[in-house]
Amino acid sequence: MSSTPPLAYVIAGSEATGGAGIQADLKTFQQLGAYGVGTLTCIVSFDPKHDWGHRFVPVDPQVIADQVEAATSTHALDVVKVGMLGTPATIDVVARSLEAQPWRHVVLDPVLICKGQEPGAALDTDTALRERVLPLATVVTPNLFEAKTLAGMDDITTVDELAEAARRIHALLDTGRGPRYVVAKGGVELAGPDAVDVLFDGEEVTVLAVPKVGEERVSGAGCTFAAAITAELAKGTDVRAAVQVAKDMVTRGIEARVEARTPFDTVWQGAYTG
Ligand code: PXL
- Per residue in 213-234, pLDDT tens? 988 889 999 999 999 999 999 9
What confidence category does residue 112 fall into, taking pLDDT thresholds of 50, 70 and 90? confident
Percent of the chain predicted with pLDDT > 90: 84
**Exposure b/e, 191-214, CB count within 10 A at least 16 = b:** eeeebbbbbbbeeebbebeeebbe
Ligand 1 lined by 44 (C-beta under 6 Å): yes
pLDDT in the model for residue 215: 86
Interval between CA 240 and ligand 1 midpoint (Å): 25
For 195-250, the DSSP string reads: EEEEEE-SS-EEEEEEE-S-SS--BTHHHHHHHHHHHHHHTT--HHHHHHHHHHHH
Ligand 1 lined by 71 (C-beta under 6 Å): no
Q: Report the C-alpha dihedral over residues 67, 72, 77, 82, rounded to 10 degrees.
A: 30
E strands present in 48-193:
53-58, 79-82, 105-108, 139-140, 181-185
Using the predicted structure, report yes or no on whether residue 7 has a pLDDT greater than 80: yes
Residue nearest to atom 5 of ligand 1 (CA): 21
Interval between CA 225 and ligand 1 midpoint (Å): 13
Using the predicted structure, report yes or no on whether residue 178 has a pLDDT greater than 60: no
Q: State the distance between the two ends of the chain, measured CA to CA, in whole angstroms.
A: 27
What domains can you pick out in the chain, each with its CATH number?
7-266 (3.40.1190.20)
Using the predicted structure, report yes or no on whether residue 119 has a pLDDT greater than 60: no
* pLDDT tens, residue by residue, 23-68: 999 999 999 999 999 999 999 999 999 999 889 999 999 999 999 9
pLDDT in the model for residue 116: 47
Instruction: Give the integer Cα–Cα distance in Å for 261 and 99.
Output: 40
One-letter amino acid at 221 equals A
CA atoms within 13 A on the CB side of 251: 17
Using the predicted structure, report yes or no on whether residue 255 has a pLDDT greater than 90: yes
Using the predicted structure, report yes or no on whether residue 92 has a pLDDT greater than 60: yes
Ligand 1 lined by 15 (C-beta under 6 Å): yes
Q: Mean of the per-residue pLDDT values for the chain?
A: 93
Interval between CA 45 and ligand 1 midpoint (Å): 10
pLDDT in the model for residue 179: 59
Using the predicted structure, report yes or no on whether residue 177 has a pLDDT greater than 90: no
pLDDT in the model for residue 115: 46
CB atoms within 10 A of CB 75: 12
Average pLDDT over residues 100-107: 97
What's the maximum distance between 2 C-alpha atoms anywhere in the chain?
A: 57
pTM: 0.96
Q: 173 vs 268, which has greater pLDDT? A: 268
Sign of the Cα pseudo-torsion (159, 160, 163, 164, in order):
negative
